[in-house]
Chain A
Amino acid sequence: MAKRVAVYCFAAITGIALGLASAIYMAGLWPGTKPLDFGDVEVDGWRSDFAIGSEAANPYTRARVARHGLLALAKTEAVYFTRDTDDRGEPLREDCTYRLSVGKMPADWWSVTLYDADSMLPMNDDEALSVNLGQDNVARIGDETVGYGLSAVVSPERPDGRDLWISSRGAPTFDLMLRLYVPSEDLLERPEAVLTPPTIERMSCDGEAA
């Protein structure tokens, strides 16, 4: 009898453990998971999860959004795209220098911000965490070679000259997050057709030409 009870207890405990672990895994609650691991939209390597900020009906999506999009805005106010590779598909690294080019975005305002592998701002005091639409307007007045858009260097060292800069110092690997505030309705309906996302060209790595 005691053996029988022990078997049932073992079955119940194993079942609970399996149910708990499978829910945590399937809902993206496993420690270390990142928004990049999910998403329902991808445009040229930039991934987004348009369910973030919404009241999702699917319980897996609801749990995932609670974990990765806590206090995030609904997509009518802002959408977020993330990319952790350059245009060649190679992971973004601190020991490389990149050229970020941003064209016209289908939104009222945008920014691109660098986050480390823990989804935190890199721990440096360079005061070069992001670039945005406002900087474009200010930095490019009188520059006849640049039309609408922004070009910035992503590197661990401040570039020479007038280049805008995003510092990767303190982030061995990182990703870039594109925030689009007040996105156009077209973007929400047909993101792949409407969005021409920023390009990330690798210029050099460890002092070698790319």
Chain B
Amino acid sequence: MTRWLGPLLVLVVSALVAHWATLSLAPGVIMDRALSALEDRGVAMHAFTAPQRITPKSQQVVRSSPDLFYSLCRYDLEDPDDRLSVTMAQWPDYQSLSFFDAETNNFLTSRGTGRSIAIEIAAPDAASQEVTKSPTQRGVVLIRRLAPTQELFNAAKAASAGDACELLTR
């Protein structure tokens, strides 16, 4: 009987380690795949990219809303002194600016109904305490604008000409 204790212990420890590792790594793996998919679809690095209006034929992500205008910007703050400067142009209806890190966490969101918003974020290892730091080097910025009709979608797209997502190196 005692000769099975060793293998049984190995089995239990292996299961616990694999269980914990899977849970810990899952968000990062899921976001890494998402960032790669965005790159494959032409979402630019350090610039906003406005995809097509969401339709059954253009949908790429589960449960996309056909009532929203989405604009995406990938970022990579490689150097501790790097900053990302983001501007969301004015839009008369609901709009929001959301920042997601490489672990899928929504670490910063700002609502901008009827007004423009400008935000800077810093690299995770930045010395400055003045601005919000991205928890991870890479991530994605997402603008949502309420635009439930084709006419409003076109207007939102025109408004997006004033959006900016720019890497500031120092």
Contacts and interface: CB of A to CB of B under 8 A. Distances in A.
Interface of A: 7-8, 10-20, 22-24, 27, 29, 35, 53-55, 59-60, 62-63, 65-67, 70-74, 76-77, 108-109, 111, 113, 115, 118-125, 129-130, 132, 134-135, 170, 177, 179, 181-182
B67 A15 contact: no
Nearest to B135: A55
B40 to A, nearest CB: 16
Most buried by A among B19, B61, B146: B19
Interface of B: 6-8, 10-24, 26-27, 30-31, 34, 54-57, 59, 61-67, 93-94, 96, 98, 100, 103-107, 109, 111, 140, 142, 144, 146, 148-149
Most buried by A among B21, B24, B27, B146: B27
Contacts of A22: 15, 19
B96 A109 contact: no
Contacts of A70: 30-31, 34, 61, 104
Contacts of A14: 11, 14
A16 B63 contact: no
A77 B59 CA distance: 23
B67 A71 contact: no
A67 B26 contact: yes
Contacts of B13: 15
Secondary structure at the A interface, as helix, strand, loop or mixed, is: mixed
Contact of A120 (B8, B17, B59, B103): B59
Given A55-B106, A109-B94, A66 B27 contact: yes
A27 B57 CA distance: 30
A124 B104 CA distance: 31
B18 A77 contact: no
Contact of B109 (A77, A118, A119, A170): A77
A199 to B, nearest CB: 21
Given A23-B22, A66-B104, A70-B104, A16 B15 contact: yes
B127 to A, nearest CB: 24
A130 B67 contact: yes
Contacts of A71: 34, 61, 98, 100, 104, 106, 140, 142
A23 B19 contact: yes
A19 B13 CA distance: 9
A19 B27 contact: no
A179 B65 contact: yes
Which 5 residue pairs of A and B lie closest in terms of their CB atoms, listed nearest first? A15-B14, A19-B18, A23-B22, A19-B19, A19-B15
